[in-house]
Amino acid sequence: MCGIVGYVGEKQALEIVVAGLRRLEYRGYDSAGVAVVADRELHTRKKAGKLANLEVLLGTDPLPGSTIGIGHTRWATHGVPNDLNAHPHTSADGRVAIIHNGIIENFAELRDDLIANGVPITSDTDSEVVAHLLAAALPVHDGDLPEAMRSVCRLLEGAFTLVAINADQPDLVVGARRNSPLVVGVGDGENFMASDVSAFIAHTREAIELGQDQVVVLTRDSVTVTDFFGEPAPVTPFTVTWDASAAEKGGYDLFMLKEIAEQPKAVADTLLGRIDRSGSLQLDDMRLSDAELRAVSKVIIIACGTAYHAGMVAKYAIEHWTRIPCEVELASEFRYRDPIVDPRTLIIAISQSGETMDTLMAMRHAREQGAKVLAICNTQGATIPRESDAALYTYAGPEIAVASTKAFLTQIVACYLVALYLAQVRGNKFPDEIRAIIAELADMPSLVDLVLDTAEPVRRLAHLFADARSVLFIGRHVGFPVALEGALKLKELAYMHAEGFAAGELKHGPIALIEDGLPVIVVAPSPRGRSVLHEKIVSNIQEVRARGAVTIVIAEEGDEAVAAYADHIIRVPQCPTLMQPLVSTVPLQVFACEMATVKGHDVDQPRNLAKSVTVE
């Protein structure tokens, strides 16, 4: 979750590190800090609150010039957000500084040992113990920071990314990772490490994936990777396919507004190059054989948050097109209920970052039972696709706003591609049928564009209901997960009570929540594709309206049957039933974004949330 940056080269490190932190501020937001080595002395500055607070401090209390430095933006796990708990943490002698992402599960035991040996502990964090352990290990290893890091990592339990510098070795930065993201950027006379490539993309697109339990040593001219025992480790270089401008706001007031507007392109890019010369569907990193896919008897989708809702949408398509039973599981619950998984189970793990810890651990549990794993991810070089048997990348580009928008749409599209690929391999659909569905998907960017062009009434509705205490969302079939996603966006951004329900469940309890003036947003299915469900949703609208609710209905063009029962109607273009989530979700994103703006909230960085949840 935290943002991590390290640099060694020929330029002023502080400028590069702070710029990198600015790009990573969406990952952690409750404090920030930096450390540099100058004239063989360690210098640190850190401050609670936004990165801007640190920048003010650096203006009034500047650091000396240096060509080596590390920086951190924190999302608190141990210890309240304050100056003392901010990173970097330093050893008692002030010679070693570390930054940390993750949770060190055995830190209490390690801290007690340090205290027993007279080491002063000054913060409430689990991270500080690493600085003291490194300082203690250095004399044992002749002052060599890389070897000290390897020995300390062997003591640690849990998930961690660590980056350290040593005043006595002013020409290197050392990093380590276990179950937490760390990527290396390779430059010319300079090298970088960060928790996300966006931190260094302005300087280089050449990067290296770091594997599990590895230590990396950077000098300005070299990158050395070993395991925790010092054995050379294989590295996988890759080239980042987007540039720095993709992570800038591009004239929009908010990253979220920019990312909502980028959804047509993101969907189109995710579809690019999926049909080969023979007309068959192809996936970019499919390492599962046709025989393995034909043997699949059950699909389980594991994901969290917005990605879980994408998986719920995908279930309808997978079962409809392939006739394979499909379950959708919250990754955080999956491995704790003793799931029934075997070698004929295909796990689809969905994660925008590819580092979501709950999803990663659930995936590993499934692999231990012999299941095959296919990852859907937006981040090259991430842990989840790297540890999977196959991967399908969503080419959405960087998503900076914490609340996910374009990732959701591209995850649905990617899931649909997987479903069609399974149908192709297993013979459930003829090639012309698959091409027809791909053609329908290819029409979606223009339809999403149309929704965006007609979104102004949705913004006005957000102003109209800004004082509402609660908003309910209802839907049926694929409209149900869309309702859940709409409610989640309102919770994340507007900090208000919002709940999504399957409309058929209203009479089984939730209708008790209906009161005069309560806004109820209804995702109406098409009267063409699901006429029976459409009739039922009209009844649901009448039920809540009769009890005083104000109904806001998302309905396709030409659907006049709902008009008589809608206090407000949001029109979306006509499209096939399984494609409807790609258009009906967009007004709900706009509504939540505008509602948060009206309330004066930080839309891009909502309170208590981080972009990538890398701890369980």
Out of 427, 452, 477, a domain closes at 452
Do 64 and 18 meet the contact criterion of CB atoms below 8 Å apart? no
**Could you give the dihedral angle defined by the CA atoms of residues 297, 302, 307 and 308, in that order, rounded to the nearest 10 degrees?**
90
The tally of CA atoms less than 13 A away on the side-chain side of residue 327 is 14
Q: Are residues 291 and 367 in the same domain?
A: yes
The structure tokens listed for 378 are 């937006």
d(CA 99, CA 70): 8
The structure tokens listed for 176 are 């380590």
424, 389, 417, 419: which is closest to 287 by C-alpha? 389
N-to-C CA span, the chain: 11
For residue 606, being part of any structural domain is answered with no
Q: Are residues 514 and 481 in the same domain?
A: yes
For residue 546, being part of any structural domain is answered with yes
DSSP-based three-state secondary structure for 545 = helix
In Å, what is the CA distance from 78 to each residue of 4, 56, 84, 179, 244?
Answer: 17, 26, 12, 18, 33
Q: Are residues 210 and 289 in the same domain?
A: no
Q: Are residues 465 and 447 in the same domain?
A: no
Using 50 as the pLDDT threshold, list the residues of the chain that sit under it: none
H/E run at residue 138: helix 128-140
* CATH code, domain with 447: 3.40.50.10490
In Å, what is the CA distance from 164 to each residue of 126, 158, 209, 221, 507?
Answer: 15, 18, 19, 18, 58
Look at residue 405 in the predicted model and tell me its pLDDT.
96
Do 271 and 229 meet the contact criterion of CB atoms below 8 Å apart? no
**Pick the catalytic residue: 47, 315, 491, 611?**
611
* CATH code, domain with 95: 3.60.20.10
Q: What are phi and psi of 232, to 5 degrees?
A: -55, 140
Do 152 and 133 meet the contact criterion of CB atoms below 8 Å apart? yes
Q: Are residues 99 and 234 in the same domain?
A: yes
Do 303 and 351 meet the contact criterion of CB atoms below 8 Å apart? yes
266, 23, 564, 90: which is closest to 4 by C-alpha? 23
d(CA 97, CA 33): 11
Q: Are residues 261 and 115 in the same domain?
A: no
**Pick the catalytic residue: 2, 326, 415, 575?**
2
Out of 244, 275, 301, a domain closes at 244
Q: Are residues 303 and 224 in the same domain?
A: no
Look at residue 78 in the predicted model and tell me its pLDDT.
78
The tally of CA atoms less than 13 A away on the side-chain side of residue 247 is 22
For residue 615, being part of any structural domain is answered with no
Look at residue 205 in the predicted model and tell me its pLDDT.
93
349, 336, 335: which is closest to 300 by C-alpha? 349
> ∠ at Cα 381 (342, 223), nearest 5°?
130
For residue 604, being part of any structural domain is answered with no
- Which positions ≥6 away from 248 have C-beta within 8 Å? none
Look at residue 77 in the predicted model and tell me its pLDDT.
74
Q: Residue 231: count other Cβ atoms within 10 Å of its Cβ.
A: 8
Domain housing 52: 3-244
- The predicted-structure confidence for 425-466, as pLDDT tens digits, reads as follows 999 999 999 999 999 999 999 999 999 999 999 999 999 999
Q: Are residues 438 and 466 in the same domain?
A: no
C-alpha Rg value of the chain to the nearest Å? 25
Q: Are residues 402 and 479 in the same domain?
A: no
Look at residue 247 in the predicted model and tell me its pLDDT.
66
The structure tokens listed for 513 are 């929540």
Treating both helix axes as pointing N-terminal to C-terminal, what angle do 107-116 and 128-140 enclose, rounded to 10 degrees?
60
* Number of structural domains the chain divides into: 3
Given the structure tokens 């929704």, which residue do they identify? 451
344: amino acid identity, one letter: R
For residue 616, being part of any structural domain is answered with no
For residue 564, being part of any structural domain is answered with yes
Q: Are residues 312 and 417 in the same domain?
A: yes
Q: Are residues 32 and 149 in the same domain?
A: yes
Do 132 and 123 meet the contact criterion of CB atoms below 8 Å apart? no
The most distant pair of C-alpha atoms in the chain lies apart, rounded to whole Å, by 81
Out of 409, 433, 452, a domain closes at 452
The DSSP 8-state label assigned to residue 143 in this structure reads T
- The predicted-structure confidence for 566-612, as pLDDT tens digits, reads as follows 999 999 999 999 999 999 999 999 999 999 999 999 998 898 887 76
DSSP character string of 286-321: --S-HHHHHT--EEEEEE-HHHHHHHHHHHHHHHHH
Do 586 and 260 meet the contact criterion of CB atoms below 8 Å apart? yes
Look at residue 29 in the predicted model and tell me its pLDDT.
67
Q: Active-site residue 2, yes or no?
A: yes
pTM score, two decimals? 0.78
Do 478 and 313 meet the contact criterion of CB atoms below 8 Å apart? yes
Q: Are residues 120 and 93 in the same domain?
A: yes
Q: Active-site residue 258, yes or no?
A: no
441, 475, 502: which is closest to 584 by C-alpha? 475
* 89-90 and 158-166 beta bridge pairing: unpaired
For residue 482, being part of any structural domain is answered with yes
d(CA 347, CA 368): 12
For residue 385, being part of any structural domain is answered with yes
